[in-house]
Structure 1
Amino acid sequence: MTESARWTRVDDGRFQVDLLTADYQRHAFTRHSHSTFAIGVVLCGEEQFHYRGELHRAGVGSLAILEPDEPHDGQAADPNGWAYRVFYPPADLLFEDGPRAHFADPVVHDPRSVHLIRSAHEELTAGADPFAAHSKLAWAMTAVARRHGDGRPAGPVLSPRDAAAARKIAEIRDRLTADLRCAPSLRELAAGVELSPFHLLRVFRDATGFPPHTWLVLERVCRARHLLAAGLTPAQVASGVGFADQAHLTRWFKRVTGVTPAAFRNSVQDPVRPAA
């Protein structure tokens, strides 16, 4: 059995959107999250993934919609694997003409939305008519938001106590990302926000879905994607974002993105842009 995966980056002058075209049999994504939405269409086979405490399955014709910062994994639901096309749009693109909504169901069955997403994805990755493809992208994103967003705010209203906890989490994140190459100790992090190490671990995991050390590794992968797209080599990126070596970067990068750093770099070097 063979597997294939290719990333494409599109740029319409306002937003950059990554696209994945993949066919997997054995690959399993480690538990991770995205800073963007993930909207995918299954073309054949079936994928399964854990999301918001439940196991979900997406088969042929399904539309999977995962929200930003929501931990999830992904693997084949049967020995035949699955093939799919995925968009990773920022929230500002998905809700460009209205307030951001919440998606209650991660897997929906809507032939019209599936057709719009698949058609836009195919045209953008082909690159034949970027202007038409970008128009289809905008139309598809608006349709998905309107047809499947439930109209409720994406985030809860925080109590003063919750707001104080959120500020502490933001401080911890800022401290971890200040220098990806040199992480502070757990005790240093805890002292900085006036929590015990155990309390910090609990509140951080409750808020993000990950313990701080795993969250930091995923941030390193995210930063590596940007640097690879900018043209840096995997060896340069590995040391620049805090991985022990290139092999360490490659192991984590493939577990999160489904491709090696070199393959990702080659795929996204020239973003698809609309015609002048």
Structure 2
Amino acid sequence: MTIILDDVACLLHLPVRGQFYTPVSVSHEQAAELAAELLGEKYDFALRETVLQRGGYFSQQWLYESYMRNVNFYRKHDCAARAWMLMLVGCTILADKSYTRVDAKWLLLFSDLSAVHTFLWASIALCWIHECFPTLGRRAASGLNCDDLGFPRAMRWMYKQGKTKLSEYRPILDALTPDDIIWRPFETHRGNIPFDLITLYSGHLRGSTVVSYLPERCIRQFGFVQYIPPPPPLAPAYSDIDSD
């Protein structure tokens, strides 16, 4: 099993079709320039923040304060929208291990606010889930019926931070049988997100990195009988990945 584009579509309601965006890391000077251009902040003020973060990053708190300044004082609503959306994705689908910083390289995604919806967000957000493994993880029901109301399926759950370490999970995963797994957990969610055949695409995807996307290795998740898959292909050039 693996995370597939259909899981991301149902859990987060992110599009599985759209433009590719592969970010290029920025220095703290370049991040300050982006903040001046797209967030309406003064360059020197933004530079102090990126120097404090030791690279091309903003803290989530700084982005929130930028949003508040733009809404309440500068009345720059386009800048406020960019700050808010960058903070939102920076603490959810694009979160890093710091849990407090947001990489400035993602700010360019919001330079044209009218085009934000055109990007292939699902390929950036290939994240793991608990839906297929009902006996794993710490969660509680939120009380929202997301299959009827149109909410992303992930809003069904209220997640709690667990104390189980990876080494403890490995024997639990090894002991799972096919009957312990929900192979197709989103069939009741099809009224909100119909199944899209593009999720059966086989090849490589580019987001924050290049990942192999090989549904033939987990075909049971699509309701088919698993066969012995061919060896995974070598990653082609970036231009070939986008063209594919």
The TM-score with structure 1 as length reference comes to 0.21
| Bigger radius of gyration among the two | 2
Structure holding more strand per residue: 1
